């Protein structure tokens, strides 16, 4: 038997707001809490690289359609990022442009894999750092080119915060 918790109306209202902002309006309170707390298990959702690629961009060759890494720790970050990013905007796709993978047509996020000498994913998002300052994340946001910010993801534990920032970037870009 699972434990039962009681929450007041303010907590329930906030939980409902989180469900809407995370596109989980049909999810259970437990699913929303798992996302908010960062303990959802994406490993259960993704059975293999092929299913991830199919989920993100259809049935094309993985190496041509999604960023890959030969380092398992970087690939684990990419797998989680790609799956979650695919839920932010269903009409956008990643396109390789030089060293970056850019989400088109909106250009609200770009990824760059650093796995030769370093082990991280650099994420560039639309919006200057001050537009994300109210978000409580462990990410080190820096100014990038005009109207953009960047940060690095060095560990899978940072993906949850990264997705929240990417979601905000998408909202900022579509509100323009």
> Does some domain include residue 124?
yes
Q: The tokens of 152 are what?
A: 């690095």
Q: Would you call 111 helix, strand, or coil by DSSP?
A: strand
> Does some domain include residue 39?
no
Do 41 and 67 contact (CB within 8 A), yes or no? no
| Total domains in the fold of the chain | 1
Range of the domain at 171: 64-175
Q: The tokens of 164 are what?
A: 């929240």
Q: Is the pTM of this model over 0.95?
A: no
pLDDT digits (tens, 9 = 90+) for 79-111: 889 888 888 877 788 889 999 999 988 899 999
CATH number at residue 90: 3.90.1150
> Does some domain include residue 3?
no
Highest mean pLDDT pick, 3-7, 42-46, 79-83, 168-172: 168-172
């Amino acid at each position: 038997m699972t434990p039962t918790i009681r929450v007041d109306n303010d907590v329930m209202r906030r939980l409902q707001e989180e469900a809407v902002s995370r596109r989980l309006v049909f999810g259970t309170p437990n699913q929303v809490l798992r996302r908010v707390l960062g303990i959802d298990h994406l490993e259960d959702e993704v059975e293999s690289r092929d299913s991830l690629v199919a989920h993100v961009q259809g049935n094309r060759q993985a190496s041509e359609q999604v960023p890959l890494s030969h380092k398992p720790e970087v690939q684990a970050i990419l797998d989680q990022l790609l799956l979650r990013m695919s839920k932010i905007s269903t009409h956008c796709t990643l396109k390789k442009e030089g060293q970056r993978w850019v989400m088109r047509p909106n250009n609200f996020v770009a990824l760059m894999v650093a796995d030769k000498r370093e082990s991280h994913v650099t994420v560039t998002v639309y919006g200057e750092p001050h537009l994300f300052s109210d978000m409580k994340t462990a990410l080190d946001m820096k100014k990038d080119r005009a109207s953009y910010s960047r940060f690095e993801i060095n560990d899978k534990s940072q993906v949850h915060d990264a997705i929240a920032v990417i979601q905000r970037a998408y909202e900022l870009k579509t509100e323009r």
